Amino acid sequence: MKKFLILIFSVVLCLTIAACGGNQAVNAENNRENSSASDTAPELPPEASTDKPADTSADTPVGADKSVNMYNAYADALENLIQNQILPDGTDCEDPLGDMSENKFSVYDVDHDGKEELLLMNINASMAGQAGYVFGYDETTKELQTELGEFPMLTFYDNGAVKAGWSHNQGLAGENFWPYSLYQYAPGTDSYELVGMVDAWDKNFSVTDDQNNPFPSEIDKSGTGIVYYIMKDGQYDTTHPVDASDYNAWINSYIGNASEIQIGYMDLTEENISQIRNGL
């Protein structure tokens, strides 16, 4: 009898152990599945749902719309010049000659005010009709504003100064000195202001002027053989020559150690204008 009871107890014990082992295996398998799912795709809280549109505002530069308006305005002005011979300032293009693509343009922040300007060299014209321009874009009026208009012999410096060579050299300096007007960028008016015109007399070119007056050697204290005329009021005047040392001090007060800006100009073509619309 005892043997029979012991046999029944052993069978029940084995069945109990097997059942526990099966449950543990199932639980372990479930744990592995849950652990794997958690590692690859954690449940997101409601506020982090992937169905919510991404915030792309950080990808849009501040003032991007303004830049688009500016570039389009520049492109429109250039296309109007090609198609209707109207300059960006609204005036007629004087004496256009040959192919309009001979004119040159560039978009460059030449005055360092943080906004790019439209530079236009209208050289497809007679000497009297040639001109170089710097145009800025007015966000308020949505129009182009003329910052500078001169003969297109322009040299820009990185401190806002501009040398504008004259169309003719009819003075007494010959090829050794080309007369020019000097401008300085004025942030208050967003334009270039004339600070002086300069011409010179080179003794090696002529020992007398057109009235037979001799070269003013008493002014040439530096012994350079050349004296300069600095005209600050915009009127041509050769009655007050100055020594080279005085001229150098004057020009250095505006240019000093500034560097010349190297600007890459493009031909005035529809293809190149399309690049401006894209902000290139």
User: What share of the chain in percent tops pLDDT 70?
Assistant: 74
Calculate ∠ Cα 163-73-166, nearest 5°. Answer: 20
Instruction: Determine which helix (DSSP H) or strand (DSSP E) holds 132, and give its type and residue range.
Output: strand 131-138
155-164 as b/e, with b when 16 or more CB fall inside 10 Å? ebbeebbbbb
Quick count: other Cβ atoms within 10 Å of Cβ 167?
14
Residue 217 within a domain = yes
Q: What's the predicted TM-score (pTM) here?
A: 0.75
Q: How far apart are CA 101 and CA 266, in angstroms?
A: 9
Calculate ∠ Cα 31-33-34, nearest 5°. Answer: 65
Q: How far apart are CA 54 and CA 276, in angstroms?
A: 30
Quick count: other Cβ atoms within 10 Å of Cβ 71?
20
In 3D space, the residue among 261, 211, 256 whose CA is nearest the CA of residue 238 turns out to be 211
231 contact partners, CB below 8 Å, separation of at least 6 = 196, 197, 198, 199, 237
Residue 102 within a domain = yes
Check residue 19 and give its pLDDT: 43
Asked whether residue 8 carries a pLDDT value surpassing 90, the answer given is no
CB 272 within 8 A of CB 100: no
> Within this chain, do residues 79 and 217 fall inside the same structural domain, yes or no?
no
Average pLDDT over residues 243-256: 98
Calculate ∠ Cα 51-53-59, nearest 5°. Answer: 145
> Within this chain, do residues 212 and 273 fall inside the same structural domain, yes or no?
no
> Within this chain, do residues 147 and 209 fall inside the same structural domain, yes or no?
no
Q: Residue 98 corresponds to which amino acid?
A: G
> Within this chain, do residues 244 and 266 fall inside the same structural domain, yes or no?
no
Which range of residues forms the domain containing residue 241? 159-258
Q: How far apart are CA 143 and CA 116, in angstroms?
A: 14
Asked whether residue 223 carries a pLDDT value surpassing 70, the answer given is yes
Residue 188 DSSP code: T
Residue 27 within a domain = no
Of the pLDDT bands very low, low, confident and very high (cuts 50, 70, 90), residue 65 is low
> Within this chain, do residues 115 and 189 fall inside the same structural domain, yes or no?
no
> Within this chain, do residues 167 and 208 fall inside the same structural domain, yes or no?
yes
> Within this chain, do residues 68 and 108 fall inside the same structural domain, yes or no?
yes
Check residue 57 and give its pLDDT: 35
Tell me the backbone φ, ψ of residue 151, rounded to 5 degrees. Answer: -60, 140
88 contact partners, CB below 8 Å, separation of at least 6 = 77, 78, 80, 81, 118, 120, 133, 135, 144, 146
Asked whether residue 118 carries a pLDDT value surpassing 50, the answer given is yes
Asked whether residue 86 carries a pLDDT value surpassing 80, the answer given is yes
> Within this chain, do residues 170 and 247 fall inside the same structural domain, yes or no?
yes
Residue 39 within a domain = no
Check residue 66 and give its pLDDT: 58
Residue 10 within a domain = no
Strands 226-231 and 154-156: unpaired
Domain count, the chain: 2
Q: How far apart are CA 45 and CA 124, in angstroms?
A: 67
> Within this chain, do residues 112 and 244 fall inside the same structural domain, yes or no?
no
Check residue 95 and give its pLDDT: 67
Asked whether residue 154 carries a pLDDT value surpassing 90, the answer given is yes
> Within this chain, do residues 148 and 278 fall inside the same structural domain, yes or no?
yes
> Within this chain, do residues 166 and 253 fall inside the same structural domain, yes or no?
yes
> Within this chain, do residues 163 and 254 fall inside the same structural domain, yes or no?
yes
Of the pLDDT bands very low, low, confident and very high (cuts 50, 70, 90), residue 39 is very low
Residue 32 within a domain = no
